[in-house]
Amino acid sequence: MGELATLYDLQQLELELDRLKKTLKELPVYSEFKKLQSEVADAKEAIGWTETKLNEQRKRIKRMEMDAEKVQQESKEVQAKLYSGAVRSSKELEQLESKGKALLREKDKAEETLLLAMEAYEELETAITTAKNNHNAINQKLRELQQQGNKEIKGLKDRIQHCQAARDQLREQIGSVLLESYGEMRPRFHGRPLARVVAGICGGCRVSISSNLTNRLCNPEAVVTCENCGRMLVPS
């Protein structure tokens, strides 16, 4: 195999390397992983918020229970005094009856408010269970994605490593002058400074080459460039 043919193989291998590196860099798993990480953080924040509200509601219910118990105790005392026979004055009796009715209304209202507070507490308990289940589900997805991503990344890195080793072997078979020219031309032709000639046509610019260039291509040691695009030509 001539140097140009080897150099063409090197070009194709480096194009494959560029493609693999781009694929590795732009793997969808990276953006998916970042998205799931954000969702996990949001789910964790939701748990924290709900737990805070649950603790606040628990303390609120405790205070309400104590207040309701106090009102109930005071109402019992008023009722006991009313029926004890100790009250002689009609005015005092009227005041106690009025106070007793007010305490009963307060007691009923406190019990109703407490019931609503307990219902809200139950709703928060349901919400925190849902939030924790959601957090666990997203975490599971994240772990599965991480395993899948690691497998994809390793596969690509192994292929890149294999191509790099093959590339190094090919470079050892090519002279430094030709390699230097190739390296200088590669950026200008977007990684394709060499083109095969098929049926008398340059594979780079799709223009027919002259008979003079065709004859020169018969010499495997000759470096022939396309008169139209300037690529190095490789006979098929």
Token pair 């799709």 is found at 206
CATH code at 26-148: 1.10.287.1490
pLDDT at 143: 95
pLDDT at 152: 95
pLDDT at 204: 95
149 to each of 3, 37, 142, 143, how far by Cα in Å?
40, 14, 10, 10
pTM of this prediction? 0.70
Q: Please report, for the chain, the start and end positions of each structural domain, with discontinuous segments joined by +.
A: 26-148, 178-235
Q: For the segment 124-139, what is each residue's pLDDT rounded down to a tens digit? A: 999 999 999 999 999 9
Are 209 and 202 a contacting pair, CB within 8 Å? yes
The first and second tokens of residue 34, run together, are: 């970042």
Are 48 and 147 a contacting pair, CB within 8 Å? no
pLDDT at 229: 95
pLDDT at 89: 77
Q: For the segment 152-211, what is each residue's pLDDT rounded down to a tens digit? A: 999 999 999 999 999 999 999 999 999 999 999 999 999 999 999 999 999 999 999 999
pLDDT at 63: 93
DSSP state of 209: P
The answer on pLDDT for 85 being more than 80 is: no
Q: For the segment 209-221, what is each residue's pLDDT rounded down to a tens digit? A: 999 999 998 887 8
The answer on pLDDT for 64 being more than 60 is: yes
pLDDT at 218: 87
The first and second tokens of residue 212, run together, are: 């003079």
| Cβ contacts of 7 within 8 Å, gap of 6 or more | 174, 178, 179, 182, 194, 232, 234
pLDDT at 87: 66
pLDDT at 181: 94
- Three-state secondary-structure class, residue 19: helix
- Per-chain mean pLDDT for the chain: 92
Q: For the segment 10-49, what is each residue's pLDDT rounded down to a tens digit? A: 999 999 999 999 999 999 999 999 999 999 999 999 999 9
